[in-house]
Structure 1
Amino acid sequence: MNIGEIARRAGVSRSTVSYAISGKRPVSAATVQRINDVIAELGYRPNASARALAEGRTRTLGLVVPPASRRLTDVQLGFVGSVVDAAAAHDLDVLLSPSGGDHDRSFERIVTGRRVDGVILMEILLEDPRVERLSQASLPFVTIGHVEHPGASWWVDVDYGALITRCVHHLADLGHEEVVLVNRSAELVAAGYGPALRSATGFLEATAARGLTARTVCCADDAAAGLACFEEIRTQWPSVTAAVTINEAALPGVQRALHRAGLEVPRDFSLTGVIAERLAEDFHPPLTAADVPAVELGRLAVDLLLAQIADGDAAPRHALLEPPISLRSSTGARPRHV
């Protein structure tokens, strides 16, 4: 069944049916009711292309993700899944597009190709040329993460600096005196990756405030790197008794290194950080951590993007989340034998 048949039965033009469905132009209440009655009688549902054409939109959101060469973390996968689910709740599709590395052309097609009504951008650098490009293109966009000076941009984020600070205070309260931050890779830190730099700042400020000896290491995003990184920590700084991390991909390797060294958590070594809830629960023992609310962040990003699409003149909005630290079983008092 098509719009022409609905128009014939309702005694109106095809354009009037289109306006009644899309709401783009005013149609009298009586006419709208008559059209809706016919639609209900016929069981009509416009296909996605027809609906998009009637509304003058693509009914598709773009989601810019890291390239396939970088394995997505649990948190990143959570962002992708929650954005797709939130968009589907509004009868919208999501077009995934990689950026970084050799994918500049793919990102540019998203920006200029009129294939999406707006964009959600992940993995934000403090100075991110993609944010600047989207601003220049006047395409509605929301970032999961935020640049150093967000200005007029719309964004959602986790307050990594504040959460790492709370992790440090928790360890200090347990009596730990020398702690290490296991950060993301040296390449990401050098590129200005927001969570890594904000975590480092929060860590150094908090350890200084509590009079702790602070150590920091960068670690690639995989288990092998986590194993090597922890063994290096034990060799260089044997008096370190606790670690804070945002590098969830390295955690399986850290766990193996602890086992190899004969260290029991938390009796001999404490571990905490900011990671995905599933990984925290699956760690042995379950990890005391601030669980990244990936589902909530993805949903908020979609909500903000739809608000921006609906009203291009709306004042920029953002959401900075600070989830509580879930006290599980991986932190304890500083061991006496150190």
Structure 2
Amino acid sequence: PSGGEHDRSFERIVGGRRVDGVVLMEIRLADERVTRLQEVGLPFVTIGHTAHPDGTCWVDLDYATLVARCVHHLADLGHQHLALVNRSAELVAAGYGPSQRALSGFTEAVGRRGLTGVDLCCADDAAGGEACLEQLRADHPDVTGVVTINEAALPGIQRALERAHVVVPRDLSIAGVVAGHWAEDFRPPLTAADVPTEMGAHAVDLLLERIATPDAPARHLLLTPPISLRASTGPAPAR
């Protein structure tokens, strides 16, 4: 997070050298916090990576590739009209890495497969998911397949689908890149690339290496977990 008290807390930690190293999250493509850590020489690792991460240690998901794989999976099932339910408008506008790379992967894959695609920003909570799904159905009734990286919106998406008597995957297929427990809690269980639970542990391991050998070449891990085929995707409905 950034702004207000978050910025002041970050500066107290960095400026006061109160820690031996930092794991930094919620990375933007252009992130002043990364620049600040480089300036003061404090060892750090990011979960996520900037647009130009040379010389930094980081762990991230390959959102562009994973979202593209979801698109190709839906296209293989015959879906021609797809939607990306992205993160909040504020995060997208701020250049939040996963949201930007998800949009890039979606746009590229939709174009490659000759599909029509629409992207929607969605607030990161259940109410946002409800509103987004209702907007999608009202404005884009031809959409039969959805890809999302917004796991916090899934309960609201589910409620909106049930209220509208939309049956997944008979009427609408949904796939995404989310944590495994979010995918398993969806009904029916969500076809998804499950976000690895060990990303934090990988970041800590890299940070300990960085602290122990600060002059060693920077390392990174770009993870591409497989798509777990569950029950939320199926053939495109005949229309």
Question: Shorter-chain TM-score: which interval?
Answer: over 0.9
- Give deviations 1:55-103, integer Å, cap 9, x for gaps: xxxxxxxxxxx4xxxxxxxxxxxxxxxxxxxxxxxxxxxxxxxx43432
Distance across 1 between alignment mates of 2:164 and 2:17: 55
Residue identity matched to 2:236: R
Distance across 1 between alignment mates of 2:237 and 2:15: 58
Quick check: 1:266 aligned with 2:161?
no
What is residue 233 of structure 1 aligned with on the other side? 136
Distance across 2 between alignment mates of 1:218 and 1:286: 23
Residue identity matched to 2:188: P
What is residue 145 of structure 2 aligned with on the other side? 242
The correspondence of residues 231-310 of structure 1 with structure 2, limited to 5 A, is 231-293=134-196, 295-310=197-212
Distance across 2 between alignment mates of 1:204 and 1:320: 21
What is residue 27 of structure 2 aligned with on the other side? 124
Quick check: 1:324 aligned with 2:226?
yes
- Give deviations 1:134-186, integer Å, cap 9, x for gaps: 00010000000000000111101000000000000000000000000000011
What is residue 149 of structure 1 aligned with on the other side? 52
Distance across 1 between alignment mates of 2:226 and 2:59: 17
Distance across 1 between alignment mates of 2:199 and 2:183: 18
- Of 64, 69, 79, the match for 1:166: 69
Distance apart, 1:197 and its partner CA = 0.3
> 4+ residue runs of structure 1 moved beyond 3 angstroms?
none
What is residue 210 of structure 1 aligned with on the other side? 113
User: Higher Cα Rg: structure 1 or 2?
Assistant: 1
Distance across 2 between alignment mates of 1:197 and 1:240: 22
What is residue 96 of structure 2 aligned with on the other side? 193
Distance apart, 1:275 and its partner CA = 0.3
Identity of aligned residues (%): 67
Distance across 2 between alignment mates of 1:224 and 1:259: 14
- Give deviations 1:228-277, integer Å, cap 9, x for gaps: 11111111111100100000111111101111111110111100100010
Query: What TM-score does the superposition give when structure 2 sets the normalisation length?
Result: 0.98
Distance across 2 between alignment mates of 1:225 and 1:164: 21
Matched positions, count: 239
Distance across 2 between alignment mates of 1:134 and 1:124: 13
Distance across 2 between alignment mates of 1:234 and 1:103: 37
What is residue 182 of structure 1 aligned with on the other side? 85
Q: For structure 2, which runs of at least 5 residues remain unmatched after alignment? A: none
Q: For structure 1, which runs of at least 5 residues remain unmatched after alignment? A: 1-65, 67-98
Query: What TM-score does the superposition give when structure 1 sets the normalisation length?
Result: 0.70
Residue identity matched to 2:234: G
The correspondence of residues 25-40 of structure 1 with structure 2, limited to 5 A, is none
Distance across 2 between alignment mates of 1:309 and 1:205: 39
Of the structure 1 ranges 150-159 and 107-116, higher mean CA displacement relative to structure 2 is found in 107-116
Secondary structure of 1:103's aligned partner: helix
